[in-house]
Every structure is written in C-alpha cells, then in structure tokens.
Chain A
C-alpha cells in the first residue's frame, strides 16, 4: 500500500451545531488505493464529518485537504477530486438515469458521453438507464448514485452508509465495485457504516468514531488480532448440553451456554490442542457432537461495541 500518498487529510476538525458540539478534534488520513471504513454507532458523527468533507456543512475550525487542496480556500479544486453519496441516493425522479447523469456531467469538467456509458456499464445499469428514476429500486438508485459519484474520475470517493437498504446480493455487488475501484484504479474510497461485519469484508483500514471523537484508526489485521487477543472462542453444538458442560475440563469462567450452544474460550497458544481434547472428551462420554467451529466475527463486533462504549460511557448521541 502506497501509504505516503495521502489523498484525504482531516486534521483537528471541530463542529458545533446549536449548543452541542458534534465533532471533537477529528483527525485522520486516507490513502490512495484503499477502502477506508468510517465506523461508529448511529449518531456518532459519521455523516456530519462526511458532510463537512464534501462541503455541505461548514467547519468551525480545523483543516481538510483533498489531494492537497484546502476545501475552504480552494473549494472547486478540492471538489473536483471528490465524488460521493451522502445519506440517500435521491435523484431527479422525473428524469431518466441517463438524464440525471448528464446533469452531473455538465457540472464537472471533462466528462464525455463515452465516460458516462462506461460508468453505466460498470454499475450494471445499461439496460435500465433510459428508464425514469421513479421506476428504479433502491438498489438501482444506489448504483446510479455510485455512477454519479465516479463520473469525473475522482481521486476520493465518499459513500455514506452505502449498503443501507440493499439486499445481500446488492451489498456483495457494491463491495466488489468498491474494492475494484480502490485496488485497481487506486482511488481512495471512504465508506461509513455502523456495522463492523460489513466493514470487515470491505475495508483495508477502519477509523472508529464515537460520540464525536476519533477513537483510533486500525488496519483490519490489527482489529482481528485485537479481537482474539490471547484467547480463541469456539462454538460447540451437542445434543445434551449439561452433560457436555460437565465433561469439558476447563475453568468455569471460560465456558458458557449461548443460544443453545456451548461457547468456550481457549488460550491462543494451544487452542487447537485443547479443542482436540474437548472434542475427544465429548465423544468419549457418548454425547452426540454435531459441530465445532471457530467464532471470530462476533468477537470483532464485540471489540467495536466495547471500544465505543468504553469511551462514551454507553451513551449514544441522538
């Protein structure tokens, strides 16, 4: 990863709306060729931060640079390198998809009809592009929004909760498009979400925000190892849970029942050996053993919840 190529630099951004301070000293950087996840619970300040980056909201103090251009001093140059969707992909419903894209093409420099067609086929809307947007599904509007956002070859692509309202197939499609844009075209993609599981599949790095404060920026690998730490969790499915619990020979605090299954925490260094022993004990006691599996995703979500709750004392902003 070309870490020296900073495309989006946010430093010391504060924002107060009314009497409430929404953002406290937000700073982070995002690089070319990465999908940067902007993660936080609802109301943490994700959308506010994004709106400030794209110029919909003013910033009280701090600085934002897009490919070196200050958004306050050089707004048009900065915005020429940004594409984005903020909140819902609302388009002019009484126009066709193509007419909508032409609207945006006219507001930006150097977008040809060929480029519009290219983007349309990239988001797989070619066969519906001449229909009125009022007839589009949410997924199609989301894709039209992405097409709009990348029309002018922006160096920074900003998507605010892009998977909201999409079905699993749509989410996967979007994820693939974003990964391709970042990794092949070396765009800096910034995606906000409140779902850790989503970020995990999409992002290279994650910045976590809660209660208007930046809690830290981590690579996905860092988070995964942090979540497991010195222990690993396994899920065991059996027919007779009390009997199985009795034969699992580890400390009481490390084994528990959840959702009709047994969960065990094992030390990371010899987890595999231990799970073998447990396996053997259950089978040896004549209990039916259905599955044994490693639980990881849930832990990542836990890390996120723990991280955010610790700092904000469990509270969330409205």
Chain B
C-alpha cells in the first residue's frame, strides 16, 4: 500500500508540475470568484430596479390611485380612497405585509369602521384588535388559523420571515381543507402530500425560529428580486459550475497515459519493478482524486468569495426537508456538499471514459475530443432517441447521469429508478476501466 501511494505521489508530481494543471486550478478559483461577483452584480441590479410600473415613490403611487378613483368613481371607491389615504399618511411600502392587511380590511369593512381599524393598524399600533377582527371575518381555514396563530404567539404584522411562513402554512391548510381525502387520485394524493409537507416545513420554521430555509432558495438564474439572492442562493448555484471542472479533469484524464507515450517516457515508467496494473490504477486514482480536489477547491473558494461579494448573512441557515412525514434539518454546508457530489457523478464517468480511450488509443487529443463531444452531445442524443421512441436508450450512460432528477422522480424515461440508473452507471464504469486495463496492461510498448 505504501508503494501504491508512492506511485500516486509520482503521478501527482507529474501532473501538478505541468503548467496546464496549474492554470486549471487557477481557472477553478476564478470561476468561483466570477460567480460570486455575478451574484453580487445581479443583486445590485435587481435592487435598483422596481418591478412595478411606478418607478416613483410609493407615496406618489397612492396619490395617483386616489386621483384615479376620484375621477372614475367605481363601486366602493370611497373605501379605497380611505385605504390609500391611510397608506400614504403612514408611509407604508407596498412590499410591507401591512399593505396587504390594510387591503383585506378595506375589502371587509367600510366607512368609519374601516377608518378605526386602519387607525389601530397604523397610528395606534394596535395590531391585535385588527387581527381579531380579521379572524372573526375570515372565510378560509387557513386565514382563520393564521390570525389565531398571530394572536396566540404574539406575531404582529410586518415581521417579514414569519409573515411568509404563516402565509405558506395558511395557504397549505386552505388548499388541504378543500380536498376530500377519501377520494384522491394518484396525482391528487401526491399534491396533497406536497401540501402537507409545505405546512409542516412552515410550522417547523415558526416553532424553531428559522428565518431562512435554504431549500426554498431559487437558483441564481431564477431570481428576480434582490431579497432572493442570499449566501446560499449563490452557493447552491455554484454546483452548476461543476461541468467546468468536468472539462478540466477530462483533459487530465485524457493525457495521463497518452502523454507518457507522446513524451517517450512510457519505457522508463514501465522498466520498473512495478506491475503495470498498479501503475494504471495509480494514474486512475490520481485523476479521480484530483477531480475531487478541484471540487473541494471550488467549494472552499465559494465561502469567502460569496462572503466578500454578497455577505455572510444567512450562512447559518439550515436546509429543511420532509422525510417520511417528519421534518429533518441539515446544515446547508452539508447540503451544498451533497449537491456537489451528486453533480460529480457525471464528470467522474466522463473522466473515466477519457482515461479509457486514452489508454486504448494513446492519443490525448483524440480521447479528450471524443469525450467532450459526448459530454456536450450526450443529452441531445438521448433526447432524440427518446423522441423516436427508442426505449433501449434508457441503457445509455447519458440517460442515467442526472441522478438528481432521477432521485426526484423526474427521469427522462418512464419508470427509471435510481437503482436502475446506478446499475447502468456501474456497468459503464466497469467497461471503461476494463478497456483501460486491456489497453495498458497488455500493450506492447
């Protein structure tokens, strides 16, 4: 074993001494920094844009509404004018949850009653009276529960993350109450379960005072408001940069054996009291472990990079999910590592392919070229075969590399289970490694 690690050390020295490897490592760091920088840039852009038509202040918006209502005088416009006057006076932002509460009040009450409640809400800061009144007039299950919950747990309006969690639980409760649990189709049952989980997660957050559940984060590509971009938004999105590491590791894998032949050093490598398969395995181990070192490097670069560009706020937030009806909480760092590892599966398979082709044909260019081609074209090929109803395509490696989708139950082919996917991947890996073995161990040099 000690001897094996000396072989691995040799391979590492050979690989790391090459300028190209050093450049690759720098590229990984730069990619991490660039993503964090882009995240910060996007966040800045979004915070300076307003996603409603009135780019002026909310004050002006309210005044415009009042003017318009006075001019057109639709049904119940008096109440609306009262509402906007109060909002304008209290200088309430449209994004404030009290805005919505005030709108609810205007929908239920009128005249002096409405003015009284709006007074309580804004001027007197007596939210409990308002909450009680709304509760008594609530229609849906969810609303009733929500106002009761606020009263019981002393949660005033305007506490942003709690408002959001209460809203989530209330919506789930309302939706569930309208379902007849006795007669659910398979799809409906699935939806019902999702609602249950959504409710459980919201309640768990409220009970445990968890401001942010990183599972609710959108990917950076999907965000449209500055608030949605937090530490973990960018961190989770960094997992989608793993194909870049894939390209780099394919280059290392494709040249590991081939470069010994092209440099002529293969003869000196093999005139040693070491069996060839040990040398081959040391090379393979080096390629794969270097891939994981690059992943670890990206992971470690992301932490300070995001911290500097976006800030460390929310770094302690957990990742919550429901497993078998109970809410589980894991560190978001663990979750990010899981995402990295899940995404690493396909790059490891591609690296193994490059390694095998390179041992067989002794050409770095050929093996890198063919592997990158397959990596880029693989999904298209599978999609085309699927479109032509070629069901055998489920046995192709590219139909199975996206373990994340398969685990989440959205595979490319129907009834493609995780076990099936893993079996296909293992079979392919075995073929690749045996090919490399045959090409290298039996090769006449």
B322 to chain A, nearest CB (A): 52
Q: Contact: A106 with B6, CB < 8 Å?
A: yes
A154 to chain B, nearest CB (A): 10
A308 to chain B, nearest CB (A): 26
In Å, the complex CA distance between A9 and B263 comes to: 31
- B7 CB contact (under 8 Å) in A79, A92, A107: A107
B127 to chain A, nearest CB (A): 72
Q: Which residues of A contact B264 (CB under 8 A)?
A: 87-88, 90
A153 to chain B, nearest CB (A): 12
Q: Contact: B271 with A109, CB < 8 Å?
A: no
Q: Which residues of A contact B273 (CB under 8 A)?
A: 75-80, 107-109
How many residues does chain A have at the interface if contact means C-beta atoms less than 8 Å apart? Answer: 34
- A54 CB contact (under 8 Å) in B7, B14, B17, B271: B271
In Å, the complex CA distance between A148 and B17 comes to: 20
Name which residue of chain A comes closest to B274, CB basis: A107
- B444 CB contact (under 8 Å) in A57, A75, A88: A57
Q: Contact: A57 with B445, CB < 8 Å?
A: yes
Name which residue of chain A comes closest to B271, CB basis: A54
Is A28 on the interface with B (CB-CB < 8 A)?
no
Contact with A along B1-34 (1 / 0, CB 8 A): 0000011011001100111000000000000000
Q: Which residues of B contact A79 (CB under 8 A)?
A: 271-274
Name which residue of chain A comes closest to B6, CB basis: A106
Name which residue of chain A comes closest to B19, CB basis: A94
In Å, the complex CA distance between A99 and B16 comes to: 13
Is A84 on the interface with B (CB-CB < 8 A)?
yes
B278 to chain A, nearest CB (A): 9
B56 to chain A, nearest CB (A): 64
Q: Contact: B272 with A108, CB < 8 Å?
A: yes
Is B270 on the interface with A (CB-CB < 8 A)?
yes
Q: Which residues of B contact A55 (CB under 8 A)?
A: 270-271
Q: Given A90-B265, A103-B14, A106-B7, do A56 and B271 touch, yes or no (CB 8 Å)?
A: yes
In Å, the complex CA distance between A58 and B7 comes to: 23
B143 to chain A, nearest CB (A): 71
Contact with A along B415-445 (1 / 0, CB 8 A): 0000000000000000000000000001011
Q: Contact: A99 with B444, CB < 8 Å?
A: no
A256 to chain B, nearest CB (A): 46
Is B267 on the interface with A (CB-CB < 8 A)?
yes
A157 to chain B, nearest CB (A): 11
A55 to chain B, nearest CB (A): 7
A142 to chain B, nearest CB (A): 13
Name which residue of chain B comes closest to A53, CB basis: B271
Is A51 on the interface with B (CB-CB < 8 A)?
yes
Q: Given A17-B444, A106-B10, do A75 and B275 touch, yes or no (CB 8 Å)?
A: yes
In chain B, positions 255-269 with a C-beta closer than 8 Å to chain A are 263-265, 267-268
In Å, the complex CA distance between A167 and B405 comes to: 66
- A91 CB contact (under 8 Å) in B6, B18, B19, B268: B268
Name which residue of chain B comes closest to A152, CB basis: B273
Is A217 on the interface with B (CB-CB < 8 A)?
no
Is A93 on the interface with B (CB-CB < 8 A)?
yes
In Å, the complex CA distance between A78 and B264 comes to: 23
In Å, the complex CA distance between A110 and B7 comes to: 15
Q: Contact: B7 with A99, CB < 8 Å?
A: no
Q: Contact: B271 with A103, CB < 8 Å?
A: no
Q: Which residues of B contact A84 (CB under 8 A)?
A: 271
Name which residue of chain B comes closest to A56, CB basis: B445
- B10 CB contact (under 8 Å) in A17, A87, A103: A103
In Å, the complex CA distance between A126 and B9 comes to: 25
Q: Contact: A82 with B9, CB < 8 Å?
A: no
Q: Contact: A99 with B13, CB < 8 Å?
A: yes
- A87 CB contact (under 8 Å) in B9, B267, B270: B267
In Å, the complex CA distance between A241 and B183 comes to: 125
In Å, the complex CA distance between A51 and B267 comes to: 9
Name which residue of chain B comes closest to A89, CB basis: B268
In Å, the complex CA distance between A17 and B443 comes to: 12
Q: Contact: A86 with B444, CB < 8 Å?
A: no
Q: Given A54-B271, A84-B271, do A90 and B7 touch, yes or no (CB 8 Å)?
A: no
Q: Contact: B6 with A56, CB < 8 Å?
A: no
In Å, the complex CA distance between A193 and B14 comes to: 32
- B17 CB contact (under 8 Å) in A57, A94, A107: A94
Is A95 on the interface with B (CB-CB < 8 A)?
yes
Q: Contact: B268 with A90, CB < 8 Å?
A: yes
Name which residue of chain B comes closest to A83, CB basis: B271
A75 to chain B, nearest CB (A): 6
Name which residue of chain A comes closest to B7, CB basis: A107
In chain B, positions 240-295 with a C-beta closer than 8 Å to chain A are 263-265, 267-268, 270-275
Q: Contact: A51 with B445, CB < 8 Å?
A: yes
Residues of A near any B CB (own CB < 8 A): 17, 51, 54-58, 75-80, 82-84, 86-88, 90-95, 99, 103-104, 106-109, 145, 148
Q: Which 8 A-B pairs have the closest CB atoms?
A: A90-B264, A79-B273, A80-B273, A56-B445, A107-B272, A106-B6, A76-B273, A86-B267
12 further A-B pairs in the complex, CB-CB below 8 A; given A58-B444, A79-B272, A95-B13: A55-B271, A76-B274, A79-B273, A83-B271, A86-B267, A88-B264, A90-B264, A91-B268, A103-B13, A104-B268, A106-B9, A106-B10
List 16 A-B pairs, Cβ < 8 Å.
Answer: A57-B444, A75-B275, A77-B273, A84-B271, A90-B268, A92-B14, A93-B263, A94-B17, A95-B13, A99-B13, A99-B17, A104-B268, A106-B9, A107-B7, A107-B272, A148-B268
